[in-house]
């Protein structure tokens, strides 16, 4: 991964996400290289992003499961203009919508080359460690 460098020459890293009560397990899991999802204890569906209740049946009950880190591409966009200077050295980069093998759908950044990208293509999880947090990305499988 390339590193953004500020005008001062110091390395600039992507800002760490702000974990809340609902997402703390997710960010802590990534930091220890585990990809965790919520599963509804009422209807059994898996969801992403972490949230306090099920978007399908409204139940507040959930348990945490470990994802296989596999999925397929539903769609994607390529970002050509950095919305934050921290990402200026990364453009262009691609953001995928991935249907996870466990059933949830997530927006996530592509790791690696996007030239062979297409809908339905299998992808797999990679962990990208930043100084203060770990990011999930997916690469073509």
Judged by CB under 5 A, the chain residues 105 through 124 that form the site for Zn ion are: none
**Residue 22 or residue 42: which is nearer to Zn ion going by CB?**
42
Between 102 and 135, name the residue whose CB sits nearer to Zn ion: 102
Contacts of 140 (CB under 8 A, 6+ apart): 110, 112, 113, 116, 117, 121, 122, 123
Q: Are 109 and 137 in contact (CB under 8 A)?
A: yes
Task: Looking at the chain, list the stretches that DSSP marks H as alpha helix, in order from N- to C-terminal side.
Answer: 24-31
Cβ proximity to Zn ion, 1 vs 43, nearer residue: 43
Count of residues in contact with Zn ion, rule CB under 5 A: 7
Partners of residue 93 on adjacent β-strands? 79
Distance between CA atoms of residues 15 and 19, nearest Å? 12
Helices (H) and strands (E) in the chain, counts: 1, 10
Q: Which of residues 13-72 bind Zn ion (CB under 5 A)?
A: 40, 42-43, 54, 56-57, 59
In whole angstroms, the minimum distance from the beta carbon of 43 to Zn ion comes to: 3
Q: Which CB, 61 or 85, lies closer to Zn ion? A: 61
Shortest Å, Cβ 45 to Zn ion: 5
Q: How far is the CB of 23 from Zn ion (least distance, A)?
A: 18
Can you give the binding site for Zn ion, defined by CB under 5 A? Answer: 40, 42-43, 54, 56-57, 59
């Amino acid at each position: 991964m390339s590193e953004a460098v500020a005008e001062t020459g110091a390395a600039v890293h992507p800002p760490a996400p702000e974990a809340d009560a609902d997402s703390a397990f997710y960010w802590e899991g990534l930091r220890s290289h585990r990809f965790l999802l919520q599963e509804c204890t009422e209807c059994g569906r898996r969801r992403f992003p972490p949230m306090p209740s099920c978007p399908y049946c409204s139940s507040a009950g959930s348990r945490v499961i470990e994802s296989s880190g596999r999925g397929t591409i539903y769609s994607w966009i390529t970002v050509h203009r950095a919305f934050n200077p921290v990402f200026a050295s990364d453009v262009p980069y691609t953001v995928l919508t991935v249907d996870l093998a466990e059933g949830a759908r997530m927006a996530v950044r592509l790791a690696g080359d996007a030239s062979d990208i297409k809908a339905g293509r299998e992808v797999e999880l990679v962990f990208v460690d930043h100084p203060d947090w770990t990011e999930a990305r997916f690469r073509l499988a």
